[in-house]
Amino acid sequence: MKNFVILIIGSFITAALLSYSFKKPDPEVLTKECYTTCYSNDVRDEFKTEANTLAFASLHPNPLPFEMEKGTGSNINFTTSDGGSGMAYAVPSKNKTNNYLLVIHEWYGLNDYIKKEAETLSKELGDVNVLALDLYDGKVASTADSAMKYVQGVNNQRLESIIKGAIAYAGPSAKIFTIGWCFGGMWSLQASILAGKQGAGGVMYYGRPETNIEKLKMINADIIGFFGNKDRSPSPEMVDAFEKNMAEAGKTLVTNKYEAGHGFANPSNPGFNKDAKEDAHVKAINFLKARM
């Protein structure tokens, strides 16, 4: 009888230990300390790692269904720097111009919502050729799960090749402007770096800032950023560091900070902030117009 009781007690202890071992901790956005110790200091890889967490996905609810009415643009193909083919939704200027705006999508891909933004930017800016780039090579996510998968599948070199191909498509005399949101905000800044001397102005909405000062020194254009004080990716601390790094690199950065969370400019996000979106949009348009 004594051995039977001991066996029963042992079984309960074993079950409890197994239950503890298999219990998953609540997901958390990666800490600032981990950013400085867990990675190779490539912010693009840091983003991909964080984008694979449930906490990050929770900042991005599934987008509301949206279908754009007939626009003035069309889908185009261009040669990428790796010898492949890239795609974009192009809205040409009514007048001949060397101004080109590269629009870079969120982590969902080049969906109709981003194409609508391209149409809006074209209409409000006037003399500019708008290229809404497809960094996912034709894939579009409709859920956070699929967006997470697509982000993990991207190759930084391939994304650079697409952007370089778009710049080459614009031509050596083109003035390159960039704009993007979240994943696209990060790559908007990266595109401004890749544009080199052709860079003329970059706009980033709550995108992860570049931390490598030597790369920041390669920027030829002024940069304007829109961030949320309630955001954790990027956090206010990361934005403060970005301001410091840009100053050290000798580059012009204007930051606008709102009492809002991540994705405040996206109407499909629960954190959508109408006042912040409208204020940011006006400032972005004025910023770009002043440099065209």
pLDDT tens-digit profile of 208-233?
999 999 999 999 999 999 999 999 89
pLDDT over 80 (residue 82): yes
pLDDT grade for 5, boundaries at 50, 70 and 90: very low
Inform me whether the pLDDT recorded for 186 exceeds 60: yes
pLDDT category of residue 162 using cuts at 50, 70 and 90: very high
Whether 247 contacts 216, CB under 8 Å: no
What pTM did the predictor assign? 0.85
Please compute the mean of the pLDDT values over residues 62-81 and round it to a whole number. 89
Place of tokens 């910023």: 287
Domains of the chain in start order, with CATH, are 30-289 (3.40.50.1820)
The pLDDT tens digits for 85-112 are 999 999 999 999 999 999 999 999 999 9
